[in-house]
Amino acid sequence: KKRIFSGAQPSGSVTLGNYLGAIKNWVKLQDEYDCIYCIVDLHALTVRQDPAAFRERCYSFLAQYLACGLDPEKNIIYFQSHVSAHAELAWILNCYTYVGELSRMTQFKEKARKHRDNINAGLFTYPVLMAADILLFKTDLVPVGEDQKQHIELTRDVAVRFNNLYGEVFKIPEAYIPKVGARIMSLQEPTKKMSKSDENENSYILVLDSPDLIMRKFKKAVTDSEAVIRYDEKAKPGISNLMNIYAAMTGRSFEEIEKEFEGQGYGAFKKAVAEAVIEGLRPIREKYRELMADKGYLESVIKCGATRAKDIASQTLKEVYDKIGLVPLP
């Protein structure tokens, strides 16, 4: 079986972008592949977190993962900070990654622009920790949204560089990006990615938003004045984004959607998109409530996932230490 690894930062609630770009596909892949899904809490520390709120959010994030349909019996689901090999391999890989490469990462450049008062070294080496995540598990495929493609390319470059020096240690991973939903845009500024760190709450949908709120946010979504529903990312980014969301939620093609809404106004279309999202997310919200009421169960998932992940990760780390010439503990 091929190995899959992916993760998300618990730096807010799960957004519709996270769900359609990544988690929905993880659920589809869990029967066919050997899957490992990580909550990358160490990555989230690159921006300042309030300790108590952060811990609560991490539990909630796990419950959201499970509520979205990730099955802890079929996959390994765990917190990054529980497996120390991530941080250890990241250090090693730091020594095989160039400052020049990291300076070219668009996510770093964006985040540095946004967090001017806290451009810490972790923000800069963030992609190296991500490379360690992926390479520790000899991953074949990394299912992610479009925005993570560059980080996976860097991961491949570092892995190839290391293998050329020391022989085949790492598997060279590939990004696995869905055809629809890989880039969900802000509802308010549809040329910008939908992001949970946006100050404008109307720009994103959270998986746990109430039906009323989802309807309101879609009604406020920015469109254009042409009043025709057709796909054209350049000229009609708002409508194209709504079509993308509708397509990802319903499985319908753009042609089918254009036909379905021919001659109808934007109001009717927005309402249909909102309804599709509300219905699609309803079971997640319900499951989430049940899960959050059962902390004991969440804790058992956390424990079991960490044990299984540690087992695999420590083997790779040992192999790496050996190859680069560190003295084995006698």
Q: Which residues are annotated as a binding site for L-tryptophan?
A: 133
- Active-site entry in 111, 217, 236, 270: 111
Measured from the CB atom, is 245 or 302 closer to ligand TYM? 245
The reply to whether 196 belongs to the active site is yes
Output the known binding site for ATP.
Answer: 9-11, 17-18, 145-147, 184, 193-197
- Active-site entry in 74, 138, 149, 196: 196
Chain residue whose CB lies nearest ligand TYM: 21
The reply to whether 149 belongs to the active site is no
- Decide: 197 and 12 in contact? Cβ < 8 Å: yes
What CA–CA distance (Å, rounded) separates 327 from 89? 16
What CA–CA distance (Å, rounded) separates 298 from 54? 16
Q: Smallest distance from the beta carbon of 167 to ligand TYM, in angstroms?
A: 24
Q: Smallest distance from the beta carbon of 133 to ligand TYM, in angstroms?
A: 4
Residue ranges binding ligand TYM (CB under 6 A): 5-9, 17-18, 21-22, 40, 43, 130, 133-134, 142, 144-145, 147-148, 151, 182-184, 193-194
Measured from the CB atom, is 118 or 167 closer to ligand TYM? 118
Measured from the CB atom, is 17 or 238 closer to ligand TYM? 17
- Please name every residue paired with 296 in a beta bridge, in sequence order, or none if there are none: none
The reply to whether 111 belongs to the active site is yes
Query: 15 is written with which tokens?
Result: 């957004």
Q: Smallest distance from the beta carbon of 212 to ligand TYM, in angstroms?
A: 23
Phi-psi category of residue 96: left, alpha or beta, with phi > 0 → left and psi -120 to 50 → alpha: alpha
Spell 34-48 as b/e; 16+ CB within 10 A means b: bbbbbbbbbbbbbbe
Give the residue among 73, 31, 137, 88 at the shortest CA–CA distance from 304.
73
Measured from the CB atom, is 65 or 162 closer to ligand TYM? 65
- Decide: 108 and 123 in contact? Cβ < 8 Å: yes
Give the residue ranges of DSSP H helices in 148-192: 149-166
Catalytic residue numbers?
111, 193, 196
